[in-house]
Amino acid sequence: MASVWRQRVEVADWDAAAADVNDVGGALLPQLMIPAECAAVLDLYPYDSLFRSTIDMSRYRFGQGEYRYFKQPYPQPIEALKQALYPRLLPIARDWWTKLGRAAPWPDSFDEWLEMCHRAGQTKSTAILLKYGQGDWNALHRDLYGEIIFPLQVVINLNEPGMAHTGGEFLLVEQRPRAQSRGTVTTLPRGHGYIFTTRDRPVRSTRGWSAAPIRHGVSTVRSGQRYTLGLVFHDAA
């Protein structure tokens, strides 16, 4: 079954995706999950036994809405998608760290990388199921979770924009050196993945390469409900 997810990941034009991520910090991917698979993951939300933690976003002033961290072992297709995506994201991550003069710590194997996280005391699962209702939104933020990170993550929209919900566009805001911030707004089709930076991306300047901080969030949901699956490629402290 894992080969199915790998095939879907390989369909993407990874040269174009890398160019988009390098340009704005995010890139849309092809459909990674078909509607029935999206519905199956969405339907897991009420089952408390599958999750280690539930966050009320308004309580922490993160916005308005709710999300839940899955326990491990993850239900399908979370682990299979992470395993399929990691080798494709890895060259982008290494290129970024080389440009920024940082040592790239990530091995070729995703399992080895998670072992490194665990040795550093980062053992908590980070796959997220997010739920937004009418009027909900996600404040601009960055997802770090610990001292060691992977600089890219992927979100997958689990229901159809324009039908299950309106609004709820994905937001990226880049803080540019000595200039106004730049925003990117993307409507995520059902089942499609979107790659985006965990915290920053390299930008060229007259002095070489520097890191431009990028925050992400979700615009206000105007009607209906919006569910997404978040795939983070490092575990949390």
Q: Is the pLDDT score of 81 beyond 80?
A: yes
CA separation for the pair 31, 202 (Å, rounded): 27
| pLDDT (average), residues 58-84 | 95
Band of the pLDDT at 19, cuts 50, 70, 90? very high
Q: Is the pLDDT score of 1 beyond 70?
A: no
What's the pLDDT at 2? 64
Q: Is the pLDDT score of 177 beyond 80?
A: no
pTM of the predicted protein model:
0.95
Band of the pLDDT at 206, cuts 50, 70, 90? confident
CA separation for the pair 57, 133 (Å, rounded): 12
Q: Which of 18-27, 122-131, 179-188, 189-198 has the lowest mean pLDDT?
A: 179-188
What's the pLDDT at 186? 96
Neighbouring residues of 6: CB distance < 8 A, sequence distance ≥ 6: 80, 83, 84
